[in-house]
Amino acid sequence: MEFTNRFHVPLPLEETWKLMLDVPRILPCLPGASLKDTLGENKYLGSVSVKLGPIKLSFDGQAELVRQDDEQHIAWLRGSGLDPKGRGSAQSEFSFALTPAAAGGTDVTVTTQLQLSGAVAQYGRGSGMIAEVAGHILKQFEANLAASLHDDAPAPAAPAPAPAGAGLPAGAMPRPADAAQPAAPAAVAVSTPEAQALMLQAQAVLAQAQAVLAATQQALHQSQRGAARQAARPKELNMLSIGLKAMWSQFKMSLGGLFGRR
């Protein structure tokens, strides 16, 4: 069976040509394909898997770049593989041809001739399905390749600083860099005798204020204790009065009993 598919690469023709010939570089972008080893110049060992409806086909084999035309930008490749489950084999010959795209970049046309043998050959009857799946895989390959090229692109360089005086009116003189903002006031050094004397006086005033504060707190504490004693004194006098009255009543009763006997 033979089918043709196309995809686009966002690079100029010559850069795309070098990229398509770099199999280890582009193979990871192909869904279901993996590179296992390099057997020699333009020979590669790998595997590929593809799903056709509910059936998943896998082939382990090798691919080889047979011929290339650098002037026409066409390359021919050959591949073969065996199904690991023993269901058959596949033989393929395909080519890719590059042409400049009108809107920029490069268009790639892939022509594939595929032969299946063994149990997997029954899927050859549905060549339309295989061509559709191949087209879908190449669309994914196109997207993956474009994404990898975007990731490999160098970051844009930072803009160069504007020269001194850029954007100023003609004849205006640029201010020096250290005059862009007012300088912070410097700390006043306390090194003169007058300043030292003033500092000592301030420290003495602070010590006196602390002593007055301590004396005030002590007086307040004593005043609170005196108030508490004054509040307790009427209670003490009241208890003494009650005691004296009781003693006087007892004394009067004793006297009354003594005179009553006589």
Which of 9, 2, 31 is CA-nearest to residue 150? Answer: 9
**pLDDT over 70 at 151, yes or no:** yes
pLDDT at 202: 60
| Rounded mean pLDDT, 17-40 | 89
- pLDDT of residue 168 exceeding 60: no
Average pLDDT over residues 139-164: 72
How far is the C-alpha of 67 from the C-alpha of 42, rounded, in Å?
10
Percentage of the chain with pLDDT > 90? 26
pLDDT given for residue 190 in this prediction? 46
The two structure tokens encoding residue 105:
């970049």
- For 99-113, 186-200, 202-216, which range has the lowest pLDDT when averaged over its residues? 186-200
Which distant-in-sequence residues (6+ apart) come within 8 Å of 62 by Cβ?
A: 39, 43, 44, 45, 46, 79, 80, 81
β-pair partners for 112? 3, 94
Q: How sure is the predictor about 11, in pLDDT bands with cuts at 50, 70 and 90? A: very high
**Which pLDDT score, from 0 to 100, does residue 180 have?**
47
* More confidently predicted of 71 and 249: 71
Torsion 16-20-24-26 (CA) sign: positive
pLDDT on residue 17: 95
- Report H helices in 21-102: 23-26
What predicted TM-score, i.e. pTM, was given to this entire model? 0.55
Please give the pLDDT value at position 114: 86
Region class of 72: left (phi > 0), else alpha (psi between -120 and 50), else beta: alpha
Rounded Cα–Cα distance for residues 177 and 49 (Å) = 65
Rounded CA-CA distance 187/202 in Å is 19
| Lowest pLDDT segment from 36-45, 66-75, 129-138 | 129-138
pLDDT band at 208 (very low <50, low <70, confident <90, very high): low
**Cα within 13 Å of Cα(45), Cβ side:** 5
Highest-confidence segment of 90-99, 143-152, 156-165, 217-226:
90-99
Instruction: Report d(CA 245, CA 251) in Å as an integer.
Output: 10
**Residue 40, pLDDT score:** 82
Q: Which pLDDT value is given to residue 56?
A: 83
Q: What is the pLDDT of residue 198?
A: 60
Q: Considering only CA atoms, give the Rg of the chain.
A: 53
Q: 45 pLDDT exceeds 80? A: yes
Which DSSP category does 192 fall into?
S
> Which three-class secondary structure state does DSSP give residue 224?
helix
Strands, DSSP E only, in 53-202?
Answer: 55-69, 74-82, 88-100, 106-118
Q: What is the mean pLDDT of the chain?
A: 75
Cβ within 8 Å of residue 222, ≥6 positions away: none
Mean pLDDT in residue range 7-23 = 94
Amino acid at 166: A
**Contact indicator for 61, 80 with CB cutoff of 8 Å:** yes
User: Which range in 38-47, 69-78, 238-247 is most confidently predicted, on average pLDDT?
Assistant: 69-78
Cα gap 117→90, rounded to integer Å: 6
Q: What is the pLDDT of residue 179?
A: 47
Residue 66 has pLDDT above 80, yes or no: yes
